[in-house]
Structure 1
Amino acid sequence: MTIILTIFLINTMLFMMLNHPLSMGGMVIIQTIMASLMTLMIASTAMFPLILLIIMTSGMLVLFIYMSSVASNEKMKSSWKLFFSYMIISGLMYIIMPEMSNMHGNYFNIYIKNEEINLLKLFSYPSHYIIIMMVLYLMLTMIIVSFIATIKEGPLRTK
């Protein structure tokens, strides 16, 4: 868990230094995978991380298609400044993280057990009707938007 958290924090710091949209999209996909792995370790089921991964990956696919149509031939520039900052940040994180992992002790385990109980309460009897209504509303909205948007009027229109 601490290794995934370390990589997550390093990628978060490096995200601010990126300037190309495709590299930012790749970093968001890596962050999504790390968040899904952390959620998988905390939750007892794999349903929540899988939903998170599918939703974020599909959103990034839409952004990738849009960016490839807008800026198709731009080159990504590799920067030595980014490489050295990555090395410095990762070195500092490996020094700091073992000390941080000893600080929380058993409080983190208690927090994880409370989170599992809260997730189970979310999908229990009285509130599962609201969740089903939200899913149906989102599906209906997606179907209506796909019927409204035609190929000739969208941002990726054909000539």
Structure 2
Amino acid sequence: MKSLFLISLINSCLLMMSSHPVLLMTFILSQTMIVCLISWLYLSVSWFAFVLFLIFLGGLMVLFIYITSLASNEMMKIEAKNFLATLIFLASSLLMMSYFMNSQSTENSIFNSTTKNFFSMYSASASFLILASMIYLLLTLIVVVKISDKFNAPIKNLV
């Protein structure tokens, strides 16, 4: 768990250092995977992390297409000034993180409160509401797919 936080911190620092759009998207995608892994390990529910990853991935695909169309031939370069500032920030963050992560009491209290809040949200009394929301979302998905059908689309130009 601590190694995932460390990788996330390093990834965030590298994200601040980069300026190329494709490299930024790569760092954001890896950060998304790390966040999903951390949420899966904390909550022990794999479907929540998977749905979170799919939502992030869908948004990133749209951003990736948009940004690569804007900056398709831009060269990647690393500036030395940004690299030094990022390195100093990373070193100080690692020291603070190693100090705070050594205390077991904070980790256990965060884990217990997160787990308690998660399971109270999905209790038996709220199961009908959750099921109704799932059915509503499924029906909405089916309607959107039918509306945006290739041959019967209302968005289609009638020439």
The interval holding the TM-score normalised by the smaller chain is: 0.7 to 0.9
State the Cα distance separating 1:97 from its structure 2 match. 2.2
CA distance in 2, matches of 1:82, 1:150: 48
Q: Which runs of 5+ in 2 are unaligned?
A: none
Q: Which residue in the other structure is 2:104 paired with?
A: 105
**Aligned ranges for residues 1-159 of structure 1 at < 5 Å?**
1-102=1-102, 104-145=103-144
Task: Return closer, same or farther for 1:110/1:16 CA change in 2, 3 Å cut-off.
Answer: same
Contact 1:21 1:67 in 2 (8 A): yes
Give 2:83's aligned amino acid. F
Find the aligned partners of 1:70 and 1:146 in 2 and give their Cα distance: 29
TM-score, scaled to structure 1? 0.72
Given residue 111 of structure 1, which amino acid in structure 2 is its aligned partner?
I
Shift of 1:86: 3.6
Query: Contact 1:122–1:128 at 8 Å: present in 2 too?
Result: no
Contact kept in structure 2, 1:11 and 1:31, CA below 8 Å: yes
* TM-aligned CA deviation for residue 60 of structure 1: 0.9
Whole-angstrom CA distance in 2 between matches of 1:96 and 1:132: 43
CA contact under 8 A between 2:32 and 2:56: conserved in structure 1? Answer: yes
Please tell me the residue identity of whatever aligns with 1:110. S
Structure 1 pair 84–150 and aligned structure 2 pair: CA distance change class (3 A)? farther
- State the 1:13 CA deviation: 4.2
Query: Does the CA-based 8 Å contact 1:25-1:60 persist in structure 2?
Result: yes
Query: What's the secondary structure of 2:78's corresponding residue?
Result: coil
Of residues 90-99 and 132-141 in structure 1, the stretch that sits farther from structure 2 once superposed is 132-141
Q: How much has 1:42 moved relative to structure 2? A: 0.9
Q: Does structure 2 conserve the Cα–Cα contact (< 8 Å) formed by 1:42 and 1:112? A: yes
1:157 alignment partner in structure 2: none
CA distance in 2, matches of 1:61, 1:110: 37
Pair member with larger Rg: 2
Deviation at 1:123, TM superposition (A): 2.1
Q: Which amino acid aligns with 1:106?
A: S
Q: How many residues align?
A: 153
State the alpha-carbon separation in 1 of the partners of residues 72 and 111 from structure 2: 44
Among the aligned pairs, what percent are the same residue? 30
Q: C-alpha distance in 2, partners of 1:139/1:74?
A: 41
